[in-house]
Structures are given as structure tokens and as C-alpha cells.
Amino acid sequence: MLVFIIPIKSSKVAKSWTELSKMFERCLQSICNQTSSEFHVMVVCHEKPQINFYHPQVQYIEVNFPIPSSDYTEKMEDRAQKVAAGLLAAQDLQPSHIMSVDADDCISNRLAAFVNQNKQSNGWYMETGYEYEEESSKIIVKKENFYKVCGTSNIINYRLLTLPEKTLPYGQLTGYDRFLSGHPLAKGDLAARGTPIQPLPFPGTIYVRDKIGESVSLQEPLVAKLKRNPKEAFRGIKKLILAPFNEQKLTDELRAEFHLYPLL
């Protein structure tokens, strides 16, 4: 069984709790739109988002971790702590695999079925995927290195994850522990352990860029991003240049597979 973990930022640090709740509700419906019923969802949050959607396979875990400041590192530590809390809570479900999902992204309805057909696999990283600007009629096709731009990019075998007694500081996370921090893993990160993961054979995620800037990476000042990771800072410029060549119409078929509907 595939267990999805969705870490939610606190309402106290959200730009708009109402808009964040709308994006989360769409994300949650996207996850629960799986063609297989062999899945479970762990939502880890300070406060439950304001939504109307209910599904019996969704579980909420409310935490009382310290509220992070506007500092990028503190926000990422908060995310890591919440993913770790979800991993620990998932033990009783005996999942085969875990997937961490950012609360504004949408995922393919084929993931749970694919995982259940490959339960012994070490896992997958997403080489390909889609990028979507909220309210656009088009979608960008990312044909390579999708995992470098989107945190919703890994499905990892649960037996390979070391469950921490406590969450390490963000800067000390290495190897599989980087899965907690929101930094996606690739085949090269894990081959040295003898447990390499493979590229997912189809696009599994739509990376959504919202209008209000709730994404932690989008909130980070450019100067700070340049200092932390110059390559990441310049990806946005490269994307703008190449966008016209990589765009395609957002079809009804894609909307249905990823349950990507317009937010009202």
C-alpha cells in the first residue's frame, strides 16, 4: 500500500489561509482520485485546513511544533518534522511505499495502482512531470530533471527509511533523510547504498505555481537563493526562455488524470 504524507504549514505563517485551504482541498481530492483503493493519506498540520471534502482513507495528525519564522531554514525544518511525524504514524499501516506531497500540487491517479504492482521496488524519482501556472490554459511539459524543481517527486520503499527518534536540523539531513526535508532524491543519491531508485515511467506530478506565493521556495529572496543554491536561482530564468517550446494545451484528459480543476 502507498501512503501519502502531506505536510501543511500553520495558518499563522500562511499568506492566505483561505486560499491555502482551497489548494490543499484540490490536492487532497487529486490524491483520493486514485484508480486503486490501496492507499492512505496522512495530513500533518498545526491546524486542520478549512475544507468540505471528506474521505475515509484520510487521517489528520495535529502537531504542536514551534511555529517557524520567515526564515527559509526554519520553514524547511518544520516541513521535515511533519513528514517525520507522518512516517512514524504510518508504521501501523505497514505500507510498502511512502510519498511526500506538497499541499498545492496534483498527482496522477495511476500512482497507487502502479506501486501496488511493484511492491518490492526500492522506489522512484520523477524525471518527467508538468508545471502549471494557476489559471492558465496551458501546461509546461518537463521532459527531464523534474525532480530538481518539485518536491513532490519521490516514492520511496518504507523499509529503506530510517525512522528518526527526533528530527535532525535541516542542514544535517543527508542521504535518505533528505526525503524528509523536501529535497527530492535521484538515482545517484542512493546508488552507493546499493538501493538505487528508478525513474518513474510516466509523469506523476503537476507542480502548481499559485498566484499568492504560498510556496516556501517562491518566498525565499533571490539573494538568499543565490547564496544557497545558484543553479536553483537561475532555473526560473531558463524556464521563461524555454517555456514557449515546452508548453501544450491543458487537455480534459490531463485535468481528469490529475484532478486539476480551477480554484474559485
Q: Which residue has the higher pLDDT, 165 or 1?
A: 1
Say if residue 113 is exposed, middle or buried (CB neighbours under 10 Å; 0-12, 13-18, 19+). Answer: middle
> What are the tens digits of pLDDT across the range 83-93?
888 988 998 99
pTM exceeds cut of 0.75: yes
Lowest pLDDT segment from 13-27, 103-117, 171-185, 190-204: 171-185
User: In the predicted model, is pLDDT for residue 57 greater than 70?
Assistant: yes
> What are the tens digits of pLDDT across the range 196-239?
899 999 999 999 988 766 665 554 454 454 454 555 555 555 55
Does residue 99 contact residue 154 with C-beta atoms inside 8 Å?
Answer: yes
Residue 236's CB is within 10 A of a number of other CB atoms, namely 14
Does residue 124 contact residue 154 with C-beta atoms inside 8 Å?
Answer: yes
pLDDT on residue 70: 81
Q: What's the mean pLDDT in 234-252?
A: 70
> What are the tens digits of pLDDT across the range 131-140?
999 989 999 9
DSSP string, 102-171: -TT-EE-TTHHHHHHT-TTS-EEE-SSEEEEETT-SEEEEE-S-GGGT-S--EEEEGGGS---SSPPPGG
The mean pLDDT value of the chain amounts to 84
Structural domains of the chain, with CATH: 2-258 (3.90.550.10)
pLDDT on residue 126: 95
C-alpha cell at 73: 531554514
- H-assigned helices in the chain: 17-31, 72-89, 111-116, 178-181, 187-190, 216-219, 222-228, 230-246, 252-258
> What does DSSP assign to residue 12?
T
> What are the tens digits of pLDDT across the range 147-203?
988 989 999 999 888 766 655 555 554 554 556 556 677 777 776 578 889 999 999
